Structure 1
């Protein structure tokens, strides 16, 4: 600071003005001229001065000159002071920045050790994902406000959804990019097809995965009225056509909107939507994918630590959270949930720690529950290899089955099922029934995880219709939730698994390790291929989380791969082609030309009929934006809908893959 102040003092000395001094011109101005021409202050000189008016004018001019010189010197010093202070502030900002970035972490050695110990304890995956989740959570409100602005302007410019009663309902960004909501004519006639991968089945699944992004009012109107209407708007928008309405109507069954807030957090940590629809004895379960402007959904995608379920494999923890099955992100957090035995500073920290341990305990109990259900397969295999039976062996297996049943029922009674009414409880006591043997099934709790709510709803429809079968579908995050839900159901409920006709996902990320992937493949693709997974071109999402030795996430089983011309290859066990960024950019340029310029030319040259409908203005803008982020732009549901309708095979029964032990 002293060095930086030297120029200022030097300039002040030259100008005759010192900082903090009481320099004044009054002593000089009080001096009077003497008789010999020199300035003096004697009374004689004062008297002589009064008698000479000319000397008074000289004194006035001298006073004005001194004032002007003083003011100019003061202004120069003040300007120099401001310049020096500005330079000092800039240097100070640089020093502070360097200290914060380089020296401060070293000085805060205790915090550095605590964070290092946290990363060693929980692993790099949880540490990295927790940091990403915290950044996304901090920007949640900003992202939502920006999304509302974009969607509001989009609905004002391009119009929202007009219901059959004339009501206008705003659409999300996904709906604005592609306003198609009607099914194809063949789909209305042929759905459901006995072949799981048939085009009518895929058309219903991709359209359900697309409209589930919208508001519940839009979904109800589309399913109850548009899909059942004899009047359908053509895809190219040139008019309407009349078709024979299907004999079996589509029916909207239930809308699931699951949001949960973790103890100690300010906002929701899970926002998951799903819906159930039905046509005849066919039930379709669709999960909503990642909303573009929802930081909560992005946090669910990026929270990728493993959660191990014995006998089933390791799965993506964020997707478990999406189904409402525990929130282990706060466990052993260095600031919010200290390890056992560590000092706790405040009551809020104690509440967060207790809530975190409670959530971990629930997820541990769920893992044990799934493992208990899985052991029945091993028990059946072991008993089939035994020859002959003895009373002791029968008693052993009976006691073992009773123990497993008790464990399963204890978990459901603690976390899933609602309290039994007094009337039902007294009736069970009089009948001497064992736990879990009630003739009247109990309802699930109102705050039960989404997994159990959907499972209970499916069981209700299965009990009501012995011929009911289920299609499960989703796009992006919705595809991951659909696959994980199916895997968990296949592990713990044979009743629902036997009724699953197909699991169809579009742009689904990886959800588990090799063990879980092979389990899902063996349960769904033997003896018939029921797991249909579609990947479009250079879409990035199906290629994450990575399958390297560091991440160890895996896809397994056949999948459908669609190229930029919407030609679909059907059924291969190889992983999807690697993503080449240069090829992805070239593909985005080709898609922009092919879907906008060429389709407009083809609509004029070959009007009977056009190969595909011309793209709307939002779709063209989205393809232009995809030139900069081609791997993200390829993930749009529009590409998957076009691939299904213009490249999906009709569906043939393929030879069943070999069973893998």
Structure 2
């Protein structure tokens, strides 16, 4: 780095390090003393890191040849030693356990830190009405209105601004009203169960009879019903749950097949395994195999005689020892997160898919498929009563989630298709927000049109997560792309009418005005909380655009547009190469504004 380059580097570093300090001044202005002090400290830390990275760069630049030679020699010396240790029967496994234990310790520390962060955030934004603490994800906008009257009124005035040719394209069954409600429900999933119950009950959901929180290893979800609409909502990545990140970054792909053996493509291994498998054979209908129970230990002591007392006691002690060691090893090698549904519930052995399918089937009224034992009924809060005889219409299942939750929601629908679940007859729609890519092109084609017309993946402006992974053959998620630009213009891009090929979201542009330099964002700053503004200062624009609050606000205030490909008489559509353009489209298109929606509550 030249002298002039060094000067520019430190000038930029100094400028960026001043941003938290300015935010600290704002916090002090609003009488948040300790927040201001924390932001001042962040400025100092950033400046220190800038110097550290510069010094490290200089050392690496001039010491690289020596460093490479040293590492090569070290590798030659250690390679045979490591191989011998790994192949030993005692030392290798012990070292492996130590490494896993270290990971488990950090996992537990982060889970505890989640509660600490919730308490800290609550000190800044206040308690929720349920006296629960807010998550760090939603503290920037701790509001959860699940319904909007204006959207519901627009939905009730159902109509079409254009006649569609059913031979060429069937219109996606999209509802902005439902999309908004499910976006809020997905945002709500980041909170504690008590807070979720409070908000759902406040908005008229049948919490007492139909609400069920679900957990499997580190994946979480909940089910709720209102007016014959059943919602299955998955939680996104908890920033304080390292195991969620392990799931996210397990990007190897695994091949899946239909019951008849036909390939359904390859899918993200971490997401697929996080859902678990059905607890029934996918080719069997009308039958149900009870789920595998958690690891339990039953001790029987016999005091019929002195000898039997001693023998049974010793045997019980041995069994307890074996049980303790085996379960501790299990928790270290594959840590679980009980914090969502409670520490007395087994979240390892009853898959998320199986739990959700059982409960939804019971809500629909298909209890003839279920044969739970008394213990299982207690574990699932007792199955709800069947559908009311006076119910005027068929119950509909809507699946939703933000980020990791959106990926899990898509995987759930894929497992429904793979296992030919009876729930497919009640499928109303899949709405995801900021979901990553989860499979290859063949996996996307497995969602045939009658289902993909009900599948909608939302991407807000420059949300980075909606564009990853960009390699290893990952393809655009199935269904209709719902792109939302910074002006809150909501545009639908259905799949190709002939090939059912989904439209990809445009790449992120780093050379246009984004984040705090975007005019639309600047205009809305006065309506945002000081904490949201602080996050905009601290995080890059492509991470700020991933917050669930932006999806909620844009769907509530945005204007809905349709972009229909392949219509006769349409004009050539070419994308603008800036952040307001949604996608690059090679085919013709037509765009029209409509306030009508296809389905409503």
TM-score, normalising length from structure 2? 0.57
> Is 2:535 aligned against 1:622?
yes
Q: Contact conserved, 1:596 with 1:615, CA < 8 A, in 2?
A: no
Partner SS, residue 138 of structure 2: helix
Among candidates 176, 200, 214, match of residue 191 of structure 2: 214
Closer, same or farther: CA 446–590 of 1 in aligned 2, 3 Å: closer
Closer, same or farther: CA 133–193 of 1 in aligned 2, 3 Å: farther
Match of 2:125 in 1: 158
Closer, same or farther: CA 115–286 of 1 in aligned 2, 3 Å: farther
Any residues of structure 2 matched to 1:318-467 within 5 Å, and which? 318-325=270-277, 373=283, 405=284, 413=289, 447-463=349-365, 464-465=386-387, 467=394
Closer, same or farther: CA 144–250 of 1 in aligned 2, 3 Å: closer
Deviations 1:578-613 (A, max 9, x none): 123333xx311234x64455664xxxxxxxxxxxxx
Q: Contact conserved, 1:187 with 1:200, CA < 8 A, in 2?
A: yes
Deviations 1:205-248 (A, max 9, x none): 001000111011111111112x13xxxxxxxxxxxxxxxxxxx8
Report the alpha carbon displacement of residue 490 of structure 1 after superposing the two structures with TM. 2.0
Report the alpha carbon displacement of residue 324 of structure 1 after superposing the two structures with TM. 2.9
Report the alpha carbon displacement of residue 323 of structure 1 after superposing the two structures with TM. 1.2
Any residues of structure 2 matched to 1:239-638 within 5 Å, and which? 253-259=210-216, 270-310=217-257, 311=262, 312-325=264-277, 373=283, 405=284, 413=289, 447-463=349-365, 464-465=386-387, 467-525=394-452, 529-546=453-470, 548=471, 550-572=472-494, 573-583=502-512, 586-591=513-518, 594-596=520-522, 600=526, 614-626=527-539, 629-638=540-549
Closer, same or farther: CA 446–633 of 1 in aligned 2, 3 Å: closer
Closer, same or farther: CA 275–654 of 1 in aligned 2, 3 Å: farther
Any residues of structure 2 matched to 1:89-238 within 5 Å, and which? 101-110=71-80, 139-144=106-111, 146-163=113-130, 168-182=131-145, 183-187=147-151, 196-225=173-202, 227-228=203-204
Closer, same or farther: CA 187–567 of 1 in aligned 2, 3 Å: closer
Q: Contact conserved, 1:106 with 1:112, CA < 8 A, in 2?
A: no
Q: Contact conserved, 1:251 with 1:278, CA < 8 A, in 2?
A: no
Q: Contact conserved, 1:507 with 1:539, CA < 8 A, in 2?
A: yes
Kindly indicate which of the two structures has a greater share of residues assigned to helix. 1
**Bigger relative CO (Cα 8 Å, ≥ 6 apart):** 2
What are structure 2's unaligned runs of at least 5 residues?
1-63, 88-98, 159-171, 295-345, 366-385, 388-392, 495-501, 568-601
Closer, same or farther: CA 115–493 of 1 in aligned 2, 3 Å: farther
Closer, same or farther: CA 521–452 of 1 in aligned 2, 3 Å: same
Partner SS, residue 431 of structure 2: strand
Closer, same or farther: CA 315–634 of 1 in aligned 2, 3 Å: same
What are structure 1's unaligned runs of at least 5 residues?
1-93, 118-131, 229-247, 260-269, 326-362, 374-404, 419-443, 601-613, 657-661
Larger Rg: 1
Q: Answer with 142-151 or 498-507: which moved more.
A: 142-151
Q: Distance in 1 between matches of 2:249 and 2:186?
A: 21
Q: Distance in 1 between matches of 2:206 and 2:119?
A: 34
